Amino acid sequence: MLKKSFLKRKRPMNRIGETTLEIDLSALEHNFDHFKSRLDPQTKFLAVVKAFAYGSDMMSIAKKLEALNVDYFAVAYVKEGVLLRDAGIETPILVLHPQVTNFSELIDRNLEPSLYSRRILREFLNVTKEKTRHRYPVHLKFNTGLNRLGFWENDVDHVSKALEGRDELEIVSVFSHLAASEDENERAFSLQQIDTFKKISTALTQKLGHRPVRHILNTSGIVNYPEAQFEMVRSGIGLYGYGNHHVIDETLKPVATLKTVISQMHKIEPEESVGYNRAFKSDGYRVTATLPIGHADGIGRRYGQGKTHVFVKGEKALIIGNVCMDMIMIDVTDIDCEEGDEVIIFGGKHSAEEFAASANTISYEILTAISQRVKRLIIP
Ligand X SMILES: *Cc1c(COP(=O)(O)O)cnc(C)c1O
Q: Compare residues 326 and 365 and give the one whose CB is closer to ligand X.
A: 365
How many residues contact ligand X, by CB under 6 A?
10
Q: Who contacts 305 (Cβ-Cβ below 8 Å, separation ≥6)? A: 279, 280, 319, 320, 321, 322
Which of the stretches 58-66, 190-198, 229-237, 275-283 binds ligand X when contact is defined by CB under 6 A?
229-237
Please state, in angstroms and rounded to a whole number, the distance separating the CA atoms of residues 187 and 181: 8
Chain residue whose CB lies nearest ligand X: 236
Told to judge if 50 belongs to the known catalytic residues of this protein, a careful annotator would answer yes
Specify which residues 346 forms β-bridges with. 258
Alpha helices in the chain, H assignment, sequence order: 2-10, 25-37, 50-55, 58-67, 78-86, 103-108, 118-130, 156-163, 187-208, 219-224, 246-251, 352-357, 363-369
Catalytic residue selected from 63, 198, 276, 313: 276
Which of the stretches 9-17, 35-43, 235-243, 278-286 binds ligand X when contact is defined by CB under 6 A?
235-243
Binding status of residue 235 toward ligand X by CB under 6 A: yes
As measured in angstroms, the least distance from the Cβ of 168 to ligand X is 24
Of residues 86 through 105, those in contact with ligand X by CB under 6 A are 96
Q: Please give the DSSP secondary-structure letter assigned to residue 151.
A: B
Of residues 168 through 227, those in contact with ligand X by CB under 6 A are 177, 218-219
Amino acid, res. 183: D
Class of residue 154 by CB neighbours under 10 A (exposed 0-12, middle 13-18, buried 19+): exposed
Q: What is the CA radius of gyration of the chain?
A: 24
> CA 55, 61, 63, 68 torsion: positive or negative?
negative
Q: Compare residues 31 and 218 and give the one whose CB is closer to ligand X.
A: 218
Among 25, 28, 48, 299, binds ligand X (CB under 6 A): 48
As measured in angstroms, the least distance from the Cβ of 332 to ligand X is 35
Binding status of residue 363 toward ligand X by CB under 6 A: no
As measured in angstroms, the least distance from the Cβ of 94 to ligand X is 9
Q: Compare residues 115 and 318 and give the one whose CB is closer to ligand X.
A: 115
As measured in angstroms, the least distance from the Cβ of 191 to ligand X is 18
Percentages (nearest 5) of helix, strand, coil residues in the chain: 35, 25, 40
As measured in angstroms, the least distance from the Cβ of 29 to ligand X is 17
Class of residue 284 by CB neighbours under 10 A (exposed 0-12, middle 13-18, buried 19+): exposed
Binding status of residue 241 toward ligand X by CB under 6 A: no
Please state, in angstroms and rounded to a whole number, the distance separating the CA atoms of residues 350 and 366: 13
As measured in angstroms, the least distance from the Cβ of 302 to ligand X is 22
As measured in angstroms, the least distance from the Cβ of 347 to ligand X is 18
Q: Compare residues 268 and 367 and give the one whose CB is closer to ligand X.
A: 367
Torsion (CA) 61, 13, 347, 306 in degrees, nearest 10: -140
Please state, in angstroms and rounded to a whole number, the distance separating the CA atoms of residues 57 and 29: 15
Binding status of residue 234 toward ligand X by CB under 6 A: yes
Of residues 260 through 279, those in contact with ligand X by CB under 6 A are none
**DSSP SS3 for 10:** helix
Which of the stretches 152-160, 201-209, 234-242, 314-322 binds ligand X when contact is defined by CB under 6 A?
234-242
Told to judge if 276 belongs to the known catalytic residues of this protein, a careful annotator would answer yes
Binding status of residue 113 toward ligand X by CB under 6 A: no
Residues at the interface with ligand X (CB under 6 A):
48, 96, 177, 218-219, 234-238
Catalytic residues: 50, 276
